[in-house]
Amino acid sequence: MGKSKNKKTAARPRKPKLIFRFGEKTDGDGTQTSLLGGKGANLAEMARIGLPVPPGFTLTTEVYNLYHENGRTLPDDLYRDVRDSVGALEAQTGRRFGDAGNPLLLSVRSGARSSMPGMMDTILNLGLNDETVQGLARETGDSRFARDCYRRFIQMYGDVVMGVRPNDDHSEDPFDEILGEARTRAGVDTDADLDAEALDELIGKYKTLIKRITGLPFPQDVWEQLREAIGSVFASWESERAVVYRRKYNIPRQWGTAVNVQAMVFGNRGNRSGTGVAFTRNPATGEKSLYGEYLLNAQGEDVVAGIRTPKAIAELAKDMPAVHRQLEKLSRKLERHFRDLQDFEFTIEDDRLHMLQTRNGKRTGLAAVKVATDMVKERLINSTTALMRIPADSISTLLTPVFGRDGVRNVKVIATGLPAGPGAASGKIVFSSREAERLGRKGEKVILCRHETSPEDIHGMLAAEGILTARGGVSSHAALVARQLGKVCVAGASGIQIDYAKREMRADDVRLKEGDTISIDGTSGEVFEGELDTEPSEVIQVIRGKGDPAASGPYQAFNRVMRWSDRARRLGVRANADTPEQAREAVALGAEGIGLCRTEHMFFHEKRLEYVREMILAPSAGVRERALKRLAKFQRSDFVELLRTLDNLPLTVRLLDPPLHEFLPAHDTPDGTLAARLGLSNQALAQRLRDLHEQNPMLGHRGCRLGITFPEITEMQARALFEAVVTVRKEYGLKPKPEVMIPLVGFPGEFRHQAEIVRRIAAEIGKQAGLNLECPIGTMIEIPRAAIVAEELARDASFFSFGTNDLTQTTLGMSRDDSATFLAPYEKLDIIARNPFATLDTAGVGFLVEMAVKRGRKGRSDLKLGICGEHGGDPDSIRFFHRIGLDYVSCAPHRIPVARLAAAQAALEDSSTARDSG
């Protein structure tokens, strides 16, 4: 119908462009990461700005979807386009794919939108077979080299495409096993020392292995190789380790991956060749200097896999000075162009440098802060960009304890490796990821010790406190992933010998078994026997007034980021703190007040606990009165100290919350002295203790239920607070800002009952002192019913504070203490994406929070809204709290900087000025 025959004017639906070339002619650019993946886009961008990139082409992420919809095979017409693109490569390189005379070899590599290092598969030297290997040998005049390429290709192809790989953590790679035997037979130390004959024999054995395990021959058809390899790389997007990684980093499955096919260059062509990985700045510390490592006569994976320990990049200046100079120049060019720390791969083939990849480098928290602040100083980026560059969680690495130098003096350093993930970690030695996971689930601290880690180890690395490897450098898998996970890591500690079978390791004549404790210092690279004491980090020391702020680089960087954050954020940040010490630290870290003071924590000191027990168990009003009076004295002086520490910042006091039996001795073993003090028989006390036992204390007699059944406790707490307020006003001339918070409210009558007591006591003490002691009285929202009746609650309460820990427990019907047994399987089965006690379950709990906000504001337009559950220190949760319009978050003191930064990022994301303007 009306189909125009005039081709010039007809608007025909254009086939979307599915293959982008780079090299002599480049189709894409660096902005197209969602289509070309990070690797493909940056290869295109490097080609555009004239960097030496071997030619190639990218199959876009849309191809992934076609592949997926087409029953996980490449559609035929698309495959024809692949052949055309290979043809273009042949034209550029003057070689022919599958040609026995002058063969073109290819690499096939994944390239997701967001870099997922080591999570997906790569195949090098594709295009080799029994014929082309001869051609390569003839053409290069290097028969050993050609065979080395071929054996590498068979191994990678066998693993990635044909599935020939170790069965579990404890088995060795079957190809590596054969390779090891070959080295032994030849009596050489490294693979590079195997001669052509030995390699020939190896190739034969590899082929036999593949045939034995898969029942299929290793394919000789290079086009079949290519098609299968592309499919396998696409398929690796769905591999278990990729799925785990995506979940951890919230990468949507639908993004898919691109695939890059590129002409090979060879770092394994002798000693004027090599391959390496470099960072434009140090990714562990952020220092501004070219950093990385290389291996001569090696191919890409050799460096990363940690099989041979590579050399530091500085040594290249001696090995190949011109190439080193060229690298430095390229590095500066890359940073100026990409305006971020770059992590790039290069290959040197016969003195010629080729760039194989560049990407924004993963970095430690320390490095993230330093690089971001340095780049602002260097005017490469502005402060907004700098803020968005620092993962909020990572700022806390500047605050985590380090091994005290005093401690170090007294223990034995048993090995030293590369400082790949800064920080201090102690824990039990485990040799497998499975064991790390098992113990980690029980809450035990473990150090995962491996020859080297592989992508399969991701679970274990997540579960461990720290990672120690015997082989591999700072760009090895272990180092790379540890850096990204914020794990302490010492890599390539070559003094260590691990025996997986015996479950032990030896280092410096010390024999350590699985379960023994070691400590690793990821900042110095040292490994210690036993557990070490830690001391506060440099930033904390400065904050505490020890050391000169101006002289501390880390403190300066920290301080700068915090200043920018405070300028950008809308959310207030308060601390959950119960003691003057905590309050002092919190204020030093930037808290704008205390959002949650758990008064019960004041009761847990030994002497006080006695009175608390007397109060609870009192057989007469007299005994209870006496106990309460004594407690009031303690509590009053605690409040005086807290209020003095806070100066004029607000102090939110939560009334007694936990179930009473938390204060009591075990119910079946009453204490004789307690009975005597109470004037009760042992038997009567035992009975009373049994009566107080609860089936489900979390849902029992606690929170305001205590204050309602024992109003004298609420009275005592209110009295202690307001008397303290009078003291600091009169004696210290301060203007304290107390706020009282009623816990576990579900019924408006509960709130009114408790608020009435607090107001009455405030009026009473205010009258005596001649002061107006009226103060905001608010409620926790921590059970679903409170969220539902929020409008009515808000008519009486002047603020809400969301207790998201309990609200999560009740909304999900899930006890935090008891959930480990099923939450771990739930994460594996993809029933839940993330631990709801760490990151707010926005669809469930978040719904109630948002509803309470809306209903609460309806009941009182100036209602103040905060959150004081542990989610208050979690960046993703903070983003949600910002979005729904809370006024502040309150979190543990050491999370205050994280919260300030996360709140800033949430505000910047929210505003249109959040664009990267660097």
| Contact footprint for a second copy (CB under 8 A) | 694-701, 705, 708-709, 744, 746-747, 749-750, 753, 782-785, 788-789, 806, 809-815, 817-819, 821-822, 825-826, 829-832, 841, 843-845, 847-848
* Residue 649 CA: distances (Å) to CA of 222, 720, 860: 72, 19, 24
Cβ 702 to a second copy shortest distance, Å: 9
Instruction: State the nearest-atom distance from the C-beta of 171 to a second copy, in Å.
Output: 22
Q: Distance between CA 487 and CA 445 in Å, rounded?
A: 13
Q: How far is the CB of 716 from a second copy (least distance, A)?
A: 19
Q: Which is nearer to a second copy, 362 or 702 (CB)?
A: 702
**Shorter beta-carbon distance to a second copy: residue 507 or 692:** 692
Residue among 192 and 833 whose Cβ is closer to a second copy: 833
In whole angstroms, give the CA distance from residue 374 to residue 380: 9
Q: Which of 362, 368, 357 is nearest to 393 (CA)?
A: 368
Given a contact cutoff of 8 angstroms between Cβ atoms, the answer to whether 677 and 609 are in contact is: no
- Name, in order, each residue with C-beta under 8 angstroms of 330's C-beta and a sequence gap of 6 or more: 51, 344, 346, 353, 355
Using the minimum distance from each CB to a second copy, give the nearer residue, 673 or 821: 821
Phi, psi of 848, rounded to the nearest 5 degrees: -65, -40
Closer of 297 and 809 to a second copy (Cβ)? 809
Report phi then psi at 291, rounded to 5: -140, 140
Q: Smallest gap, in angstroms, from Cβ of residue 828 to a second copy?
A: 10
Let me know: does 169 contact 434? Beta carbons within 8 Å.
yes
Alpha helix locations (H) across 679-772?
682-692, 704-709, 711-732, 748-769
Closer to a second copy by Cβ: residue 163 or 515: 515
Least distance to a second copy, CB of residue 68, Å: 21
Chain centroid to Cα 327, Å, comes to 31
What are residue 58's DSSP bridge partners? 20, 260
Q: CB–CB of 22/28 below 8 Å?
A: yes
CB of 722 to a second copy, least distance (A): 24
Neighbours of 625 (CB within 10 A): 14
State the Cα–Cα distance between residues 660 and 702, nearest whole angstrom. 7
Cα gap 468→451, rounded to integer Å: 8
Nearer to a second copy, 410 or 620 (CB): 620
Q: In sequence order, which ranges of 815-860 are alpha helices (DSSP H)?
A: 820-828, 847-859
CB atoms within 10 A of CB 774: 10
Q: Give me the least distance between CB of 555 and a second copy, in Å please.
A: 41
3-state secondary structure of 281: coil
Q: Which is nearer to a second copy, 192 or 812 (CB)?
A: 812
CB of 757 to a second copy, least distance (A): 12
Beta carbon of residue 744, minimum distance to a second copy (angstroms, whole number): 6
Tokens 């410096």 identify what position? 508
Q: With beta carbons less than 8 A apart as the criterion, state whether 432 and 454 touch.
A: no
| Smaller CB separation from a second copy, 38 or 803 | 803
- For a second copy, give the closer residue by CB, 831 or 838: 831
Residue-level length of the chain: 918
Angle at 489 between CA 485 and CA 491, to 5 degrees: 125
Q: State the Cα–Cα distance between residues 75 and 884, nearest whole angstrom.
A: 46
337 is catalytic: no
Minimum distance from residue 875 beta carbon to a second copy (Å): 23
Judged by beta carbon, residue 707 or residue 738, the one nearer a second copy is 707
Q: How far is the CB of 474 from a second copy (least distance, A)?
A: 39
Three-state SS at 423: coil
Catalytic residue among 477, 661, 882, 894: 477
For 868, the token pair is 């004081």
Is 733 exposed, middle or buried, given 0-12, 13-18 or 19+ CB atoms closer than 10 A? exposed
Closer residue to a second copy in complex, CB, 472/748 = 748
| Least distance in angstroms from the C-beta of 830 to a second copy | 6
CA distance 357 to 424: 32
Q: Are β-strands 311-312 and 291-296 bridged in parallel, bridged antiparallel, or unpaired? A: antiparallel
Residue with tokens 């001869």: 134
Integer CA distances (angstroms), 805 to 598, 739, 809, in order: 14, 21, 6
In contact, 744 and 658? CB cutoff 8 Å: no
Nearest to 537 by CA among 520, 518, 550, 523: 523
Neighbours of 752 (CB within 10 A): 16
Q: Using only the alpha carbons of the chain, give its radius of gyration.
A: 32
Angle between helices 875-883 and 896-910 (to 10 degrees): 50
Specify which residues 122 forms β-bridges with: 109
> What's the distance, Cα to Cα, between the start and end of the chain in Å?
52
Measured CA to CA, the distance from residue 178 to residue 193 in angstroms comes to 15
Q: Which is nearer to a second copy, 509 or 817 (CB)?
A: 817
- Our answer to whether residue 477 is catalytic in this structure is yes
Catalytic residue among 451, 868, 882, 894: 868
Which residues are part of the catalytic machinery?
Answer: 477, 868
